[in-house]
Amino acid sequence: MTEIPEDHPRYAALMVRDRLTKAMWAKIVAPEGLIAQGRGEAYDYLLGEQTTGSAARAERAAAAMLLSAEHPVISVNGNTAALCAHQLAALQEASGAAVEVNLFHRTEERMAKITALLEEHGVEVLAGTPERLIPLSHERALCLPDGIGRADLVLVPLEDGDRCEALRQMGKSVITIDLNPLSRTAQTATLAVIDEVTRAVPAVTAACRTLSQEEARALAVGVDNTVFLKEALVTMARHLEEMADALE
C-alpha cells in the first residue's frame, strides 16, 4: 500500500478509499462496493462535501420516522459496515432499531465477517434463519422473519434500487442514505437522506437523542421525499453554475 502523506489535499478522502480497499481484501466490502463509493464521491463533490441544510432536515425526519416506527430495522451491507461500524451502536441505542446484515452480493463468509465487525463495535446483530420473504429473484430475497421480514420501517444506507422498491411493495417504509438523488433507491424510498453515510449516521443519532416521541410523531407524518430530492438537485446545479462562473 502507498503511504498517504498527511499534507495531501485529498488526505481524508484517500484514507476512506484506503479503509474500503482494505475492507475489500478482508471480504467485508464487495469489489463492486468500491465502484459504488466512486459514484458516491462524484455526487459528494457536487454537494460541496458537506451536509446541506436540506440533508440536515432529512436527517431529523429520518430520526422522527425511526422513533415513530413499531419495528424499525437498520439493514447493513458491506460498505456501510466498513465505513460506519463504529457509529452504528450509537444509532441502534438512540433509535431502538434492530440491526440486520443484508447483502446484495451475499456469501456466508461475508455475512459472518460483517457480523463479527459490527459486534466488535458493540452492535447487537440479529441472528436467525433467513427466508425468501422479499419479492426478488436470487439470494437478495433472503431476510430474517423477525428482522426485515416483520419490520414496518427499514433503513437501507447505500442500497441498490431493486430491494428498496421491493420493500416498498411489501408495505414497508424505507429510509435510504444515498449521495445520488437520481438513484432508483433515492427516488423510490419513503425518505432519501442525500448525504455521505458517515456524516448522516451521527446526525440521525443526534436527532434521535433530542426529539420527544410527540415531536417525532408529528414530524414523521409530514415527510415528503420529493422536496428533499428537488433541494439536493437544485444545490448540485447551483454548485455547478458557481464552478462554471469561477472559470470566467
Contact residues: ligand PTJ, CB under 6 A = 30, 32-33, 36-37, 39-40, 43, 77-79, 83, 103-105, 158-160, 177-180, 183, 196-197
Question: From the CB of 232, what's the least distance to ligand PTJ, in Å?
Answer: 12
Q: Whole-number minimum distance, CB 178 to ligand PTJ, in Å?
A: 5
Nearest approach, Cβ of 29 to ligand PTJ (angstroms)? 6
In the complex, the smallest distance separating the C-beta of residue 120 from ligand PTJ, rounded to whole angstroms, is 18
* Residue 32 vs 146, nearer CB to ligand PTJ: 32
Contact yes or no for 52/134 (Cβ under 8 A): no
CB nearer to ligand PTJ: give 207 or 216: 207
Q: Which is nearer to ligand PTJ, 51 or 68 (CB)?
A: 51
3-state secondary structure the chain: CCCCCCCCCCHHHHHHHHHHHHHHHCCCCCHHHHHHHHHHHHHHHHCCCCCCHHHHHHHHHHHHHHHHCCCEEEEECHHHHHHHHHHHHHHHHHHCCEEEECCCCCCHHHHHHHHHHHHHCCCCECCCCCEECCCCCHHHHEECCCCHHHCCEEEEECCCHHHHHHHHHCCCEEEEECCCCCCHHHHHCCEEECCCHHHHHHHHHHHHHHCCHHHHHHHHHCCCHHHHHHHHHHHHHHHHHHHHHHCC
Identify which of residues 69 and 158 has a Cβ nearer to ligand PTJ in the complex: 158
Quote the least distance from Cβ 186 to ligand PTJ, whole Å.
7
Which CB, 164 or 216, lies closer to ligand PTJ?
Answer: 164
Instruction: Dig out the grid coordinates for 98 from the structure.
Output: 434492530
Q: How far is the CB of 57 from ligand PTJ (least distance, A)?
A: 17
* Cβ closest to ligand PTJ, residue 81 vs residue 153: 81
